[in-house]
Structure 1
């Protein structure tokens, strides 16, 4: 995502840059009215970092708790982190109507995407290997069971897909951002098909999720944007709202290959349409105690977890 070194030619990249996308001044608007005061911004930044550090300190003890209790604490903590940074969240759709293993796929705009999804659809995240070495956040990611992928080594990709398939075949949930890089939110990238091979191999369903922010520019974490700059931009907005739309699950049995399945998931995210039945389950997180429940539906499948992930070059 971030870094100025030359990237291998096979890696997905976005044309979005901090100067053109994150700032994005709009003609005719007084942006001073949209900004929080310095005192409020500093208070949010302090509270957000404090919430992250508290999670790091409590993580070893939380690992000793029963799985259900641990998941509940993770959901509470991620909600607290996002709220501490001043972000109000609106979830739309049904997470509670579905159970079983699931590949959750979403568009990627910001580092905020990760705690926002973890608050309602906790699972094994897939992240680039560099995240493991980030201060504090890297430790939390490792403790949370993140599946790290070495994007510089194309030959390592089939192994990552096999690891994802193993989690799904064992009844777990995997969360991935198949664009492979963050985009500004006004534009989105193509869903890369490699991760979808894990859904085909395990026979599980795919759950597309659409993430939008208002204002979009302040949330965008793109190009070589430093994390500290992004944090300050988020806490300096007077009011930021994140909309998380949980869309209808897609059966992997309906598609012959990972390319077709990836295209179907991308169409769903681009359209962002939530069924009327799901709209009735809308939850607003500015009273953020009531989020959709943990379970996620998947259609039963007789498809074996084949070894076809070994033929997954990208």
Structure 2
């Protein structure tokens, strides 16, 4: 197993059991149809929006649409952190921002887009996903063939080029999904080299999926999309899970040049993301 192909110990039988209340199959099916319909609407309308709307209006529309997709699937959204950090793309010749987050689920994609719309860096397999694949391609996703280690330098150059052009690029540097009930994976340093090359700041995000009352929330295994879990099974599990909340914490941005080297920058970003989970009341399920 190469460093470019990280593996997670998380598996569907061991990590994705939902311990909270469940919806009846009928309203769950209605949510599934609503979520898929709104996602399909995004695929159909994306070319028109990209051609007719300016940058700021397009970002507002993407944020509203992504938030609507999550709500359509029955997922509440909670954003924490300094509102000042949630700005528009840089523009005016300034470098963009590398947005990095831990990776739990396919839900991470609309969740991040609801706060920081940008160009995603994603594995090439996603291009073949129904609905989400075409939408990702229309949104300017940078696809990487993880099985080809020789493709890594070209990927770093592509990300750096997008950042130099003022784009916001979203990366999940763990390289694989983790269930969110433990410390997660190590942040791989490759994407951080692109930020260094472009002189771009790094914006860390912490993603959690919870259920229950606000004062007694617990990690929601139903949201995790790990291992060989089929997408259809994950979709059904999400809509069956009542009271599911997606929480995204916006940490303080790391300025360009804050630390020397991509490995140090990756470690600082990882520790920034992990520090927000210090009060999580659940122990890891992995040993």
> Quick check: TM above 0.5?
yes
What is the distance in 1 between the residues matched to 2:236 and 2:35? Answer: 11
Q: CA deviation at 1:63?
A: 2.0
Aligned to 2:275: 271
- Residues of 2 paired with 1:9 and 1:92: CA distance? 32
CA distance change for structure 1 residues 8 and 135 in 2, over 3 Å: closer, same or farther? Answer: farther
Instruction: Please state if 1:23 is matched with 2:27.
Output: no
Give secondary structure in 1 for the equivalent of 2:52: coil
| Structure 2 unaligned spans of 5+ | 91-95, 212-219, 279-287
Equivalent of 1:204, from 200, 203, 224?
200
Q: What CA deviation, in whole Å up to 9, does each residue of 1:122-158 have, x standing for no partner?
A: 1110000111111221110000000000101101011
Quote the Cα distance in structure 2 between the aligned partners of 1:83 and 1:126: 24
- The answer to whether structure 1 residue 113 and structure 2 residue 108 are counterparts is yes
1:75 maps to 2:69: no
Distance 2:159 2:240 in 1: 37
Residue among 241, 246, 257 paired with 1:242: 246
Q: Residue 253 of structure 2: SS of its match in structure 1?
A: coil
Task: Select between 53-62 and 161-170 the one with higher mean Cα deviation.
Answer: 53-62
Give TM-score, length-normalised by structure 2: 0.87
The TM-score with structure 1 as length reference comes to: 0.80
Match of 2:137 in 1: 142
Change (3 A) 1:268 1:82: same
1:65 corresponds to which residue?
Answer: 52
Q: Tell me the distance in 2 between the aligned counterparts of 1:103 and 1:189.
A: 19
The answer for the alignment partner of 1:251 in structure 2 is 255
Counterparts of 2:100 and 2:7 in 1: how far apart (Å)? 18
Instruction: Determine helix, strand or coil for the equivalent of 2:29.
Output: helix
Number of residue equivalences: 261
Is contact 2:4–2:146 with CA below 8 Å preserved after alignment? no
Unaligned runs of 5+ in 1: 1-6, 26-30, 275-314
Map of 1:3-14 to 2, 5 A cutoff? Answer: 10-14=4-8
Shift of 1:75: 1.3
| Runs of at least 4 residues off by over 6 Å | none
Q: How does 1:151-190 map to 2 (within 5 A)?
A: 151-187=146-182, 188-190=184-186
Q: CA deviation at 1:94?
A: 2.5
